[in-house]
Amino acid sequence: MIPPLPPDDDRLRAFRHALPAVEAGVYLNAGTAGPLPSEVAAAMADLAAWELGTGRAHPAFFELVAQRLDEARAGLASVLTADVDDVAVTTSTSHGMSLATWAARVGPGDRIVTTTLEHAGALGPVYALRDRGVGAVFAEVGDGSDDELTLAALAEAIDDRTRVVSVSHVAWSTGAVLPVARIAELAHARGALLVVDGAQAAGAIPLDVPSLGADFYAVPGQKWLLGPEGVAGLWVSPDRRVDLLPAFGGWSSYERLDARGSADPWPTARRYDAANWYKPALVGLARAVGWLAMYVGWEWIHGRALPLAHGVAERLAAIPGVELLTPRTRMATLVTFRVAGWTAEEVREELAARSFVVSRTVPSLDAVRFSVGAWNSVDELERTLRSVELIAAHTPGTIPPRRGLEIVDHRDP
């Protein structure tokens, strides 16, 4: 059994009621996109209706969206435990990672060091720069479970030519939490910048980003923050604000261009905002983060999700035929596993058809990944795990058929 949690039935019921998608299936894929709160969808619909009925060029519209931009920035700063002036509002984690990676202005002969656990969104700028003559080094860190192995591999890879070290806080594949603070010390000792992909950390685990020592920390809006796609955040260390080339994307930047077209050099991260977001999405992120903080409570969210994830990992590890790939001593809320005799896609499809489980695969590992959230109930997780037990006890050819619906024809012959 998953260890019992403190009584919170009423709170959980209210939380789940506000997330309609969690009633349509066992929602275990917030690592891709979290369940959208009804309140967020309503706020986005309201602004979309304004765009349709009043127009997108009305002065009052711009004033409203500017206010919501400030709210979104403040919400992101709260999640990151950061100063609001250190947060830029971007369009995705990948966008933030690209901005930050290019900030070092690397060129031929320089190096970027990353790990073998990184997501394609973080690797995009690495490959782009490699095509321009920049060396790309991939440190072999295994599954991320051994901090000393991780640090030793990075120490060997980082040298005096290294300009950027790019790592995840929580590995998207195995779910391992990497020792970011110690990696920052190692990178800075060699004169390199540390760029962190926080896609599977922001909203999933408590964060104090300034204390990590990173130079840049990119986060999404649509995953654990339960916002829409198309809007995200980039934390920029106060020491690194001037490293980024100004994007002049947001209203704040435009307003600070003087008649000669030069920028007011006020050194805040908001100079690097993206340009021309889909405005309802911006409003949606502001509402989602504020709703989670004030209506649900981050302490409750983290206090519930982390024990649930650990309980799921423990149960999976005990099932014969199941190989748990997530290191239990270094995990957050992602749980990755394989089932002997089954491909990952076969397992995912069987869980979806048999128990209405919404999950995803990690193709590079041929594994299934569960993203356990505070919205999950113990009962639905137990049903999911019993389905995994059933799958592991059979092969695709021997598993009992799923119960079908009997169609009764009441028409007269």
Q: How far apart are CA 269 and CA 18, in angstroms?
A: 33
pLDDT of residue 250: 44
pLDDT of residue 57: 87
**Burial class of residue 393 in the structure, from the number of CB atoms within 10 Å of its CB (0-12 exposed, 13-18 middle, 19+ buried):** middle
Measured CA angle at 1 (ends 342, 202), to 5 deg? 75
Q: How far apart are CA 390 and CA 376, in angstroms?
A: 21
Element (H, E) at 360: strand 360-362
The encoded tokens of residue 238 equal 């106060």
Query: Parallel, antiparallel, or unpaired for β 87-90 and 232-236?
Result: antiparallel
Closest CA to 367 of 387, 340, 394, 389: 340
Q: What is the torsion angle, in degrees rounded to the nearest 10, for the CA atoms of residue 154, residue 162, residue 164 and residue 85?
A: 110
Q: How far apart are CA 46 and CA 52, in angstroms?
A: 10
Instruction: Name the DSSP letter for residue 228.
Output: -
The encoded tokens of residue 113 equal 């060091």
Q: Encode the chain (413 residues) as per-residue pLDDT tens digits.
A: 555 555 678 899 999 999 999 999 999 999 999 999 999 999 999 999 999 998 888 888 888 888 989 999 999 999 999 999 999 999 999 999 998 988 878 889 999 999 999 999 888 888 888 888 889 999 999 999 999 999 999 999 999 999 999 999 999 999 999 999 999 999 999 999 999 999 999 999 999 999 999 999 999 999 999 999 999 999 999 888 765 554 444 444 444 444 444 444 456 888 788 878 899 999 999 999 999 999 999 999 999 999 999 999 999 999 999 999 999 999 999 999 999 999 999 999 999 999 999 999 999 999 999 999 999 999 999 999 999 999 999 999 999 987 655 555 555 55
Give the residue carrying structure tokens 């709210």.
71
Residue type, 407: I
Q: Sign of the C-alpha dihedral, residues 329, 198, 207, 114?
A: positive
Q: How far apart are CA 119 and CA 92, in angstroms?
A: 13
Give the residue carrying structure tokens 């128990």.
355
